[in-house]
Amino acid sequence: MLAKGSLHIIPKQTGQSGSSPSQTSIVFQYNPDRVKRDIKPNMVGGRAGGHSSNIRYGTAPEETYSLQVEIDALDNLPSKAQAKAAVTDGIYPILSALELLMYPDLASVKSNQAKLDAGTLQVAPYVAPQVLLNWGQKRIVPVVLESYSVEEQMFDRALNPLRATIQLTVRVITYNDVRPGNSNYQSFVSYQRFKENEADKL
């Protein structure tokens, strides 16, 4: 069975019930033909005229993934929920789930506004959900959406989009970006460990 690339969205924990937040999975209908990866090392020393005794790692490198995702409501969608929604809403649900990765949730916006209205001086920044890019078992990596561009190509009578080409660029979240207790920290450690295990096979 062909593995499907996907984005897994894990919302922030809310409330005091202790229940786990529900995950949303955006499974790629078609795997992109190409995935571009850019890795920019973070090194200390080795600069021209620096005369450093050793070249050192500052931290993990900055890495980005760029990919093109095709969505077509007129073809078979990868999940029953997506296929059912496509009958009445076209691909709006998929587009909305992707675009909301760039928005704070409205409940938090309203909560912060209420604090401002009450004269509370300190308002906490909005907490984003954890996002994992799944590109096979050895590439499950925490990411943040850096850029999103969509071209909608077909519409039904209600002007619901039926087909779209989406350009996504995501930046990998490393152990330098978050504290050790953050779930993204361990996700990146696992990602790097897979790289090290594969390199050891040479």
Query: What average pLDDT does the segment 21-39 reach?
Result: 89
The per-residue pLDDT for 64 is 98
Query: What average pLDDT does the segment 107-130 reach?
Result: 85
Q: The tokens of 78 are what? A: 């990868």
Q: Which range marks the domain in which residue 136 is found?
A: 6-12+21-105+127-199
Q: What is the domain count for the chain?
A: 1
Residue 119 lies in a domain: no
Residue 110 lies in a domain: no
Residue 112 lies in a domain: no
Query: What average pLDDT does the segment 42-65 reach?
Result: 80
Higher-pLDDT residue of 46 and 2 is 2
Residue 139 lies in a domain: yes
Residue 122 lies in a domain: no
pLDDT digits (tens, 9 = 90+) for 160-170: 999 999 999 99
Q: Are 42 and 58 in contact (CB under 8 A)?
A: yes
**pTM for this predicted structure:** 0.84
Residue 116 lies in a domain: no
pLDDT digits (tens, 9 = 90+) for 132-187: 999 998 899 999 999 999 999 999 999 999 999 999 999 999 999 999 999 999 99
Q: Single out the residue of 78, 184, 61, 96 nearest to residue 132, CA to CA.
A: 184
Residue 1 lies in a domain: no
Q: DSSP string spanning 6-31?
A: EEEEEPPP-SSS-PPPPPEEEE-SS-
The per-residue pLDDT for 50 is 60
The per-residue pLDDT for 20 is 53
Q: Are 133 and 7 in contact (CB under 8 A)?
A: yes
The per-residue pLDDT for 54 is 79
SS3 string, 148-199, reads EEEEEEEECCCCCEEEEEEEEEEEECCCCCCCCCCHHHHHHHHHHHHHHHHH
Q: How confident is the model at residue 198 (pLDDT cuts 50, 70, 90)?
A: very high
Q: Single out the residue of 26, 6, 12 nearest to residue 130, CA to CA.
A: 12
The per-residue pLDDT for 37 is 97
- Alpha-carbon distances, residue 171 vs 93, 94, 143, 145, 177 (angstroms): 23, 20, 5, 6, 11
Residue 115 lies in a domain: no
Average pLDDT, the chain: 87
Please tell me the distance from the alpha carbon of residue 95 to that of residue 7, in angstroms, as a whole number. 13
Q: Single out the residue of 178, 194, 11, 39 nearest to residue 105, CA to CA.
A: 11
Query: What average pLDDT does the segment 115-134 reach?
Result: 86
Q: Single out the residue of 169, 189, 193, 171 nearest to residue 180, CA to CA.
A: 189
